[in-house]
Structure 1
Amino acid sequence: MKGKTKVLFITVRSDMGGGPKHVYELCSGLSEIDVYIASPCDAPYYEKYRSISNGHIKIPHRKFSLLKLIELIQYCRNNGINIVHSHGRGAGIYSRFMGLFGFKVVHTFHGVHHASIVERMLKHLTNRFICVSRSEMINALAFGLCEKINTVVIPNGIEEKKYSDITSPGKKILGTISRLDPHKNNGELIRFMKELPEYHLLIAGDGEEKEYLKSIAPTNVEFMGYVDDIPNFLNKIDIYVSASRGEGLPYSVLEAMAAGKKIVLSDVVGHNDIEGNILLYKPEQLEIFKNALLKAENCKISTEYCINNQIKKIEQIYE
């Protein structure tokens, strides 16, 4: 009798973010796959990865190590693993070099913002590419990071029923879930809030810009830190907002849609791919943002973003 397919998932991040969350949600749902994970030891996902995997191997945070590459190759051989699925740019360096040693390589981008010569060369060592949005695939093709013949779009998926009982306080409370780093552009939201005293903004997340953002924030901005209970956070807000400079396909927005929230987002790749009655604003345009807050309507999530659909499509790639 044929046993389960064994797959090693590689991510060079296990801190807060959409990429690490994607790996966790995907691996949690792959009942027909024996899951092994290589990741750093960072919170919050390191312990979560260990709890759902058949085996875990530690690798550096966002750093390539030749010794770890050799260790990964030996680990896969010892455990009978012949498929490697990398997530994100750094993890893709490991997986594609492993392709030289006969492993089947699947790579998911999780955001495409630029490309190096090395990445363009590594596409030839990749069996299948997965993009989480159509715009991400367009960018990846334009940068020469993949070929259309072996690239597929599989949107992120969530378990909708987790968010079905969420309500709204009705008090003009905005909320965002985000890493606090320059790419997420939370400084723009804070600048907007200085001109919108009638609104209150809750920011859930942590990161390198935390102290800076706190130093420029007006009194109607509240920092919640890392939030693990997403439904509870969504219960506290009326409108979900994001000023990000670019995304793959953000889980936090899908969760807000499933919760029936009003949603206003920056008009960038990853946001403008999402199907639904979200409203977009041009970055740095306060008046457009303000009008969008007034016009936003409660959202409904498309069945396209069902986690069962996502898992089924990815399992087919492993066959």
Structure 2
Amino acid sequence: MKSQTHNQKDEIWLLLDSRDVGGIETHILQLAQGLKQFQQSVRVIFLCKYEQTHPLTISLNNANISYRFLDGTLRELLDYTRHHCPSVIHSHGYKAAIYSRLLRLSLLTSHQKIRFINTFHAGEVGKGKLALYDIIDRWSARFSHHNFAVSELISQRVPSQTTVLNNFIDTTNLKPSTGELIAFVGRLSHEKAPDRFIELAKKHPNHSFHIYGSGPMEKELIKHLPNNVIFHGHQDSMDTIWNDIGLLIICSRYEGLPMTALEAMGRGIPVISTPVGNISKLIQPEMNGWITEPEALSQALLHWFELSSINKVEIQHAAQRTIQDQFSSNAVIPQILKVYEV
């Protein structure tokens, strides 16, 4: 656990329940770094510490961002909050959102003035316990002071008022990629549709396809990998790998606004994506990338292969400009700070 010596009463807490790194965790890292750039004191609060070392802590340490693991109970969250009294608690994910709202209700009679903010990330409807958490999360949204959503579709599923907010990344030190690899980057789960990526690879046996990530579909996918698909497994950080990638394929069935798309485009890596979530706000077809139905992914890839070097460079530059102008920390963090300070 990283420590801090300044007054924690001015801190912004980013609250989550997490075992691994995915879209939410990447978003939180970017948010924490962005807030720090704007001279805000920030701490990441994990509701529970699971068996393995959380890979996000590596990035947090590298960015010199403080974090704390709790024991998973509402009681410890309440005690820790009463003791340190942050100015804002910004929750991410089902469990963190529900806990934060229960925390707000528990503090109604106290003199602590805390802004409770939440971001809705999930585009898919889960099953079993996840479906229950999803229902409670959406219908208890009114107990947050403000709710963000990362796509219009996600916003429409929440009965309370939400603000659709662009996902964002820090573009300060990003260098353009010089790589040429065709890649899938993300969790190997049904909503991300890595199976579609493998089917795409089968249609282009003369090209190599690369998968970076792990997840519940991993073992089954590995059994049926064609010879031209290289599986790289879980990555604690993609920072050094992005430079090898020349084209990102997003095959998802459900999404908000994929952080991997921002990470890629911010480095001048064009994206071919299925029409999910708010991807249409990010990609202008033929200008900075492509949006296509799943059955037309192969045709879009062929189009990329046939482009001239000059056209490819134009699209790469356009992708970078899009992120810088609309999806960077400099563009989005001021909008979030306004909500924090109301």
Is 1:139 the counterpart of 2:144? The answer is no
Please list the CA deviations of residues 229-276 of structure 1 after superposition, one character each: whole Å capped at 9, or x if unmatched: 534322223211111112222222112112222321112113233144
Find out whether 1:34 has 2:41 as its counterpart: yes
Deviation string, structure 1 residues 271-304 (Cα, Å, up to 9, x no partner): 2331442101212445444444446743323211
Determine the C-alpha separation between the residues in 2 that align with 1:145 and 1:5: 31
User: Is the aligned partner of 1:310 residue 2:319?
Assistant: no
TM-score, normalization by structure 2: 0.79
Q: How does 1:144-293 map to 2 (within 5 A)?
A: 144-147=158-161, 151-169=162-180, 173-276=181-284, 277-285=288-296, 287-293=298-304
Alignment of 1:88-127 (within 5 A): 88-100=93-105, 101-102=107-108, 103-114=114-125, 116-127=134-145
Q: What residue number does 2:70 align with?
A: 58
CA distance in 1, matches of 2:143, 2:33: 27
Query: Which residue of structure 2 aligns with residue 80 of structure 1?
Result: 85
Contact 2:123 2:153 in 1 (8 A): no
Partners of 2:9 and 2:84 within 8 A in 1: no
Q: Secondary structure at the match of 2:173?
A: helix
Is the alpha carbon distance of 1:138 and 1:215 closer, same or farther for their aligned partners in structure 2, counting shifts above 3 Å? Answer: closer
Change (3 A) 1:235 1:122: same
State the aligned residue count: 301
Q: 1:4 to 1:313 in 2, by over 3 A?
A: farther
State how far apart, in whole Å, the 2-side matches of 1:156 and 1:262 are.
17
Q: Distance in 2 between matches of 1:232 and 1:120?
A: 37
SS of residue matched to 2:294: coil
Matched residue, 1:65: none
Question: What are structure 2's unaligned runs of at least 5 residues?
Answer: 1-6, 109-113, 126-130
Spell out, residue by residue over 1:6-39, the C-alpha distance to the aligned partner (whole angstroms, 9 max, x if none).
Answer: 2222111251211011112211332333323221
Mark the CA change 1:43 to 1:246 in structure 2 (over 3 Å): closer, same or farther. Answer: same
SS at match of 2:257: coil
Where structure 1 has 5 or more consecutive residues not aligned to the other structure, the ranges are: 61-67
In 1, Cα distance between equivalents of 2:78 and 2:184: 40
Quick one: which of 20, 23, 26 aligns to 1:21? 26
- Partners of 2:67 and 2:269 in 1: CA distance: 38
Q: Distance in 1 between matches of 2:270 and 2:43?
A: 38
**In the TM superposition, what whole-angstrom CA distance separates every residue of 1:45-103 from its partner, at most 9, and x where no partner exists?**
1354467445513355xxxxxxx112111101101224211012221111111121234
Distance 2:294 2:120 in 1: 24
Q: Tell me the C-alpha RMSD between the 2 structures.
A: 2.6
Q: Matched residues in 1 for 2:40 and 2:75: separation?
A: 24
Give a deviation string over 1:87-139, Cα, whole Å, max 9, x none. Answer: 1222111111112123431001113334754234312201111123xxx2343
Q: Percent identity?
A: 25
Instruction: Confirm or deny: 8 A CA contact 1:281 1:292 kept in the other structure.
Output: no
Distance (Å, rounded) in 2 between the aligned partners of 1:152 and 1:85: 14
Instruction: Provide, for residues 204-231 of structure 1, a one-character-per-residue CA deviation record: whole Å limited to 9, x for no partner.
Output: 1122222211111101101112334534
The amino acid of 1:58's aligned partner reads: L
Contact 2:176–2:243 (Cα < 8 Å) also in 1: no
Per-residue CA distance 1:174-197 (angstroms, 9 max, x = gap): 112111122111011101211211
SS at match of 2:281: coil
Measured in 2, the distance between the counterparts of 1:152 and 1:295 equals 40
Distance, in Å, in 1 between the alignment partners of 2:41 and 2:173 is 25
Q: What SS does the aligned partner of 1:139 have?
A: helix
Instruction: Please identify, of 51-60 and 96-105, the stretch whose mean Cα deviation from structure 2 is larger.
Output: 51-60
